[in-house]
Amino acid sequence: MRIAASDVRKAVFCLVLIGFAGFAEAANQRVCTEAEVKEAQKEAGQLRDWDSVYRSFKRFAHCDEGGIAEEYSDSVGRLLARDWKHLKTFVRLSADQDFEQFVIRHVDETMSEDEAALVINNARLHCPLGAKRLCKSIADY
C-alpha cells in the first residue's frame, strides 16, 4: 500500500498542531511555589464569604491539590451549608466559569453527612431566581 505525500504532510501537520497545543497548555500552568503552598494552606480553610473564596481562587487555584484542596472543600461546604443567604454573591461571581467549576469541584465527599444534607436541601428548596442550573449542579454532587 502506498501513502500519498499529501496524506503524509497532513499527518505531520496534525501532529505538529497537537504538540503545539500541548506545549501551550503546559506553558499556561503555573507552578505552586513553597511560599504559595504555605499561604494557600493557611488561607483555604479559613474563608468566610464568597468574595474571599474568589480572591483566594484567583491567587491560588494553581495550588488546588492535596491538603489545600481539602481545605477549600471545607470552606465551600461550610458556606453552602451554613451561609446560603449569601449565595447570590456566589451566583454573581460564577460569571467566571473557572470559578464556578472550582466551587462545584469542591462540593465533595469531604463534607459530613449533615453538611451534605443541608447543602442539598438548600439547593433544592431555596434556590435564588436565575440560579437553577447552578443549584442543580450543587445538588447533584
User: Domain residues for 10?
Assistant: 1-30
Global pTM reads: 0.78
pLDDT tens-digit readout, 26-35: 435 789 999 9
Taking the CA atoms of 102, 109, 141 and 45 in sequence, report the sign of the dihedral they define: negative
pLDDT at 14 over 80: no
Question: Cα angle at 31 between 69 and 108, to 5 degrees?
Answer: 15
87 with 48, same domain?
yes
24 with 43, same domain?
no
Q: What is the CA radius of gyration of the chain?
A: 20
13 with 57, same domain?
no
Tally of domains in the chain: 2
52 with 63, same domain?
yes
14 with 50, same domain?
no
59 with 24, same domain?
no
Q: For the chain, what is the mean pLDDT?
A: 86
65 with 26, same domain?
no
Contacts 24+ apart (CB under 8 A), 29-37: 29/62, 30/62, 31/62, 32/60, 32/62, 32/63, 36/60, 36/62, 36/63, 37/63, 37/68
pLDDT tens-digit readout, 90-109: 999 999 999 999 999 999 99
Instruction: Report the run of H or E that residue 119 belongs to, with start and end.
Output: helix 113-125
7 with 38, same domain?
no
pLDDT at 21 over 70: no
**% of the chain with per-residue pLDDT over 70:** 80
